[in-house]
Structure 1
């Protein structure tokens, strides 16, 4: 059996496929970003999931695609955790951008992730090409959940947020300076904490203030993470993630001045990963 996973900082979706590509179970754990979380926390989040535990010695292969797995050290750490837990299974760990490509297209294109964090690549139909390394939520991650979360908190404290929206914001979150500073500078997962504030934008009624915030974030992302690829003028631009899903109208408006073509917008990449591996299973059986 093949265990597939699409992991971010906030959550990780798991799908177990049997030998003919049928779904045995779906489950979800908390985020498993090895570049952000300590090894002990990652182990705990995997171990406490009942479905994963009940099948841990029955799985042949684990394919994990996750945020924070684009560099060697965190990817190796996570691979070792899975090898120790899923006894006897072959474990393959790759960055989430690979899953995004599988979910979006089989043809050349620019693939963009807009979730808790953000990233982009050019896919030439066979290989993935990165323009710049992602330096994470402090320096980069334009138009991501933590980008918008930071924007909301700053606007609230600088009193740039419209009063009626600020009043609603106060009802939804603990905005005391002590609480914010403790979560950002003393507790784990500050990127996930910041991204939690972005839900306020996407679960509230759309208004001019929110529209401006999203538009500015998307425009910055396009200028820094899409136009950096010369191929962007000639291939579709695909978007992956919940923020992309809820911002489709703004994305389409934002790319128009740059003469870019929007391709697929996929909310959950795990669905595309399932289709990819089912096709692989069919190909292998056809060769037998």
Structure 2
């Protein structure tokens, strides 16, 4: 990463890099601005993301485009019911000299797309989640560190739930963001169809290197945050816990389980990054609110009353503002 004279200069460079990233990604991905922004924020914050959307919304294309623009090694793993942990971590093989040699699996990349993560049994999900948490894999008792930066983007299809293994809450908590993808607008879909049914070759420029990303991840943590903004972020997370003295009436009525302390940490990190990519040197309450839904959506569990009355997580989170 290039040397900056001050952190202020580094934040300006981060904001400019974000603009360059968006314009390069925009050559291939039509619309989805909020999704692209959320993915980049989680990447600069050193967190992982879960993309939830129906098939055909360009989830895989989005991830491979981001990997190409960032000049990072990208691997895609299609999760299936017969996938074993060794299929993703790698395994020991006996070579021609009769020595055991570790053969690296697809997890040894900078950006890993875990496609349809809920289609694979808990054993394989656990192997992926260990890698996400520890940034390493253990095979035959030997620990193998993963290449940095390491970033997992998992996708989930919300429609079909037959034959799936839903991620338990403790595992969902490992994801910094839960990012929903929606259908494109009518105008956007016309642009998508025009662009994909003719011959078009896009020349994507590499905007950042792996060292730049690691440098920006350090920078995000150095950004100062005012006490009132930090307290606001922590109070947002604590308000989601039913039966506690800070819980709101709506939380007590509709939520059976609230967000843990990891939510508070990610709200602060995400707000710092959200401020930085817009050229601000310190986050404010608006920055916390801008990323709160992505952080809290998968960390609160609705009760039967909420499901019966059609109250979704978004409504509950908005009530906390």
Q: Normalization by structure 2: what TM-score?
A: 0.22
Greater CA radius of gyration, 1 or 2?
2
Task: Name the structure, 1 or 2, with higher relative contact order (CA <8 Å, separation 6+).
Answer: 2
Structure with the bigger percentage of strand: 1
Q: Normalization by structure 1: what TM-score?
A: 0.24
